[in-house]
Amino acid sequence: MAETAIMNVLLCGIGGQGVLTASEILAEAAIAAGHDVKKTEVAGMAQRGGVVTSHLRFGPKVYSPAIPPGQADVLLAFELAEGLRWITHLKPSGIALVNTLRIIPPVVSTGLFRYPDDPLADIRDSGTRMIPIDAGGIAKEMGNLRLVNSVMLGAVADSLPLEALTIKTALTKRFSARKPELGALNAQAFEAGRAAALAGAKAA
Amino acid sequence: MKKKTLPAAGTRLMMSGNEAVARAAWEAGLALASAYPGTPSTEILEELTGYPDLIAQWAVNEKVALEVAIGAAVAGSRSMAAMKQVGVNVAADPLMSQSLAGVVGGLVLVVADDVGLSSSQNEQDSRFWGRFAHIPVMEPADAQEAYEMMKQAFDLSEKFETIVLLRMTTRVCHVKSMVTVGERRPPNSEGGFTYDPNRWVLVPSTAKRRLPIQAEREKALLAESEKSPLSRLEPGSDKRVGFVTSGPGYLHVKEAFPDAPVFKLGLSHPAPFEAIRAFAATVERLVVVEETEKILETELKAEGIGCTGKDILPSNGELAPEILAPAIAKMLGEPVPVRKLVHDAQSVFPRPPTMCVGCPHLGVYYTLARLRRQVTISGDIGCYTLGALHPWKALDTTTCMGASLTMALGLDKGRLPKDAEKSVVAVIGDSTFLHMGIQGLLNLVYNKGNATVLILDNGTVGMTGGQDHPGTGKDAYGMPAPRVDFMKLVEALGVKPERIRKVNPYLMPVLFKTLKEEIAIPEVSVIITDQPCVLIEDHERFAPFQVIEDLCTGCGNCLKTGCPAILVRKREQVVKAGKSQELAFVDIDISGCTGCGLCTETCGPDAIKRMSPQSAKEAQAHG
Which has the higher per-residue pLDDT, B487 or A43?
Answer: B487
- Indicate whether B606 belongs to any domain: yes
Q: In what order do the strands lie in the sheet with B500-503?
A: B375-378, B423-429, B452-456, B525-529, B500-503
- The mean-pLDDT minimum among B118-127, B335-344, B594-603 falls in B335-344
Q: Does any domain span residue A2?
A: no
Give me the pLDDT at residue A42, please: 65
**B369 and B430 housed in the same domain:** yes
Q: What is the 3-state secondary structure (H, E, C) of chain A?
A: CCCCCCEEEEEEEECCCCHHHHHHHHHHHHHHCCCEEEEEECCHHHHCCCEEEEEEEEECCCCCCCCCCCCEEEEEECCHHHHHHCHHHEEEEEEEEEECCCCCCHHHHCCCCCCCCCHHHHHHHCCCEEEEECHHHHHHHCCCHHHHHHHHHHHHHCCCCCCHHHHHHHHHHHHHHHCHHHHHHHHHHHHHHHHHHHHHHHHC
Per-residue HEC secondary structure of B497-523 comes to HHHEEEECCCCHHHHHHHHHHHHHCCC
CATH of the domain at B241: 3.40.50.920
Which tens digits make up the pLDDT trace of B270-294?
A: 999 999 999 999 999 999 999 999 9
Q: Is A37 a domain residue?
A: yes
- Confirm whether A57 is domain-assigned: yes
Average pLDDT over residues B328-345: 79
pLDDT (average), residues B72-90: 98
Segment 103-162 of chain A within 8 Å of chain B by CB: 104-116, 119, 122, 126-128, 136, 140, 145
Does pLDDT of A1 surpass 50? Answer: no
What is the distance in angstroms between the Cα of B591 and the nearest Cα belonging to chain A? 11
Q: Does the pLDDT value for residue A2 go beyond 50?
A: no
Specify whether B261 is located in the same domain as B295: yes
Instruction: Among B500, B529, B558, give the residue marking a domain's end.
Output: B529
Based on the domain organization, do B507 and B602 belong to the same domain?
no
Among partner residues B142, B391, B623, which is closest to A110 by beta-carbon distance?
B391
Residues of A in contact with B566 (CB under 8 A): 109
pLDDT of B333 above 70 = yes
B206 and B314, same structural domain? no
Q: Is the pLDDT of residue B341 over 70?
A: no
> Residue B2: what pLDDT?
58
Q: What is the CA radius of gyration of chain A?
A: 16
Nearest Cα of chain A lies from the Cα of B205 at a distance, in angstroms, of 46
Q: What is the pLDDT of residue B171?
A: 94
Interface test with A, best of B346, B561, B573 (most A CBs within 10 A): B346
Question: What does the pLDDT read at residue B260?
Answer: 98
Residues of B numbered 23-42 whose beta carbons fall under 8 angstroms of chain A's beta carbons: which are they? 39-40
- Would you say residue B586 has pLDDT above 80? yes
Q: Which pLDDT band holds residue A3 (cuts at 50, 70, 90)?
A: very low
Q: Could you say which of B177, B566, B571 has the minimum Cβ distance to residue A37?
A: B177
Angle at B538 between CA B537 and CA B539, to 5 degrees: 90
- CA distance linking residue B451 with residue B522, whole number of Å: 7
Mean pLDDT, to the nearest integer, of B311-333?
A: 96
Tell me, yes or no, whether B336 lies in a domain: no
The residue range of the domain holding A120 is 7-203
The interface residues of chain B toward chain A in range 272-331, judged by CB-CB distance below 8 A, are 318, 320-322, 325
What's residue B5's pLDDT?
Answer: 86
Examine the pLDDT at B587 and tell me if it is beyond 80: yes
- Judged by CB atoms closer than 8 Å, whether chains meet at B346 and A2 is answered as no
Contact residues, chain A, for B557 at CB < 8 Å? none
What pLDDT, on a 0 to 100 scale, did the predictor assign at position A179? 86
B164/B151 Cα distance (integer angstroms)? 11
Specify whether B521 is located in the same domain as B552. Answer: no
CA of B171 vs chain A CAs: smallest distance (Å): 7
Query: Same structural domain for residues B295 and B366?
Result: no
Mean pLDDT throughout B305-315?
97
pLDDT score for B207: 96
Say what the pLDDT of residue B1 is.
47
- Which has the closest alpha carbon to B171: B229, B236, B250? B250
Max CA distance (Å), chain A: 49
B199 in the same domain as B106: yes
Taking only residues 233 to 272 of chain B, the set having a beta carbon closer than 8 angstroms to any beta carbon of chain A reads 248, 251-252, 254-256, 258
Q: Which of B39, B118, B349 sits opposite A108 (nearest CB)?
A: B349
Predicted structure pTM score: 0.95
pLDDT of B164 over the 60 cut? yes
Q: Single out the residue of A148, A54, A144 nearest to residue A101, CA to CA.
A: A148
Asked whether the beta carbons of residue A50 and residue B351 sit closer than 8 angstroms, the reply is: yes
Residue B576: predicted pLDDT: 84
Mean pLDDT across A104-118? 85
Q: Does the pLDDT of residue A47 top 80, yes or no?
A: no
What's residue A45's pLDDT?
54
Between CA B485 and CA B318 the distance in angstroms is 43
Return the CATH number at B592: 3.30.70
Give the residue from B226, B259, B279 where a domain finishes. Answer: B226
Q: Sorting pLDDT into bands at 50, 70 and 90, what band is B339?
A: low
Q: Are residues B376 and B445 in the same domain?
A: yes
The count of domains in chain B is 4
Interface contact B325-A49, CB threshold 8 A: no
Residue B7 lies in a domain: no
Please check whether residue B348 lies inside any domain of the structure. Answer: no
Mean pLDDT value across chain B:
95
Report the mean per-residue pLDDT for chain A. Answer: 90
- Over residues B158-166, the mean pLDDT reads 98
Cβ proximity of B397 and B379 under 8 Å: yes
The closest CB to that of B346, out of A84, A92, A114, belongs to: A84
What's the CA gap between B612 and B493, in Å, rounded?
46
Gap between the terminal Cα atoms of chain B:
38
pLDDT at A41 over 60: yes
Q: Which residue of A has its CA nearest to B568?
A: A109
Q: What is the model's pLDDT at position A204?
A: 65
Q: What is the pLDDT of residue B591?
A: 84
Confidence of residue B3 (pLDDT cuts 50, 70, 90): low
Whether B519 and B590 map to the same domain: the answer is no
Task: Give the structural domain span for B307.
Answer: 232-331
* Domain annotation covers residue A1: no
CB within 8 Å of B358: residues ≥ 6 apart: B534, B563, B565, B593, B594, B595, B596, B598
Q: What is the CATH number of the domain that holds A21?
A: 3.40.920.10
B31-49: pLDDT as tens digits: 999 999 999 999 999 999 9
Asked if residue B538 is part of any domain, the answer here is no
Q: Which chain B residues touch A114 with a CB distance below 8 Å?
A: 349
Q: What is the mean pLDDT of residues B412-441?
A: 97
Are A63 and B568 a contacting pair at CB < 8 A? no
Tell me: pLDDT of A16 over 80.
no
Taking an 8 Å cut-off on Cβ atoms, the answer to whether A40 and B352 are in contact is: no
Residue A48 confidence class, pLDDT cut points 50, 70, 90? low
**Of B210, B226, B242, the domain-final residue:** B226
Q: What are phi and psi of B287, to 5 degrees?
A: -120, 130
Contact A39 B175 (CB under 8 A): yes
Q: Assess whether B252 and B378 both reside in one domain.
A: no
- A70 touching B, CB under 8 A? yes
Provide mean pLDDT across the span A3-27: 89
- Report ipTM for this prediction: 0.92
B64 and B147 fall within a common domain: yes
Say yes or no: B218 and B288 in one domain: no
Q: How far is B117 from chain A (nearest CA, A)?
A: 10
* Contact at CB, B352 and A107, closer than 8 angstroms: yes
Please report whether residue A45 resides in a domain: yes
Judged by CB atoms closer than 8 Å, whether chains meet at A47 and B535 is answered as yes
Contact across the interface for A38 and B567, Cβ inside 8 Å:
no
* B350 part of a folded domain: no
Q: Is A10 on the interface with B (CB under 8 A)?
A: no
On whether residue B5 sits in a domain, the answer given is no
Instruction: Please count the structural domains in chain A.
Output: 1
pLDDT score, position B143: 97
Instruction: Decide if B14 contacts A39 (C-beta within 8 A).
Output: yes
Give tens-digit pLDDT for B593-605. 999 999 999 999 9
Mean predicted confidence (pLDDT) in B71-84: 98
Of B170, B177, B623, the CB nearest to A42: B170
Q: A35: pLDDT confidence band, cut at 50, 70 and 90? A: very high
- Structure confidence at residue B343 (pLDDT): 57
Q: Examine residue A92 and state whether it is found in any structural domain, yes or no.
A: yes
Q: Is residue B92 part of a domain?
A: yes
CATH number at residue B169: 3.40.50.970
Which residues in B lie closer than 8 A to residue A46 (C-beta atoms)?
Answer: 353
Do the beta carbons of residue B26 and residue B18 sit within 8 Å? no
Residues of chain A above pLDDT 90, percent: 67
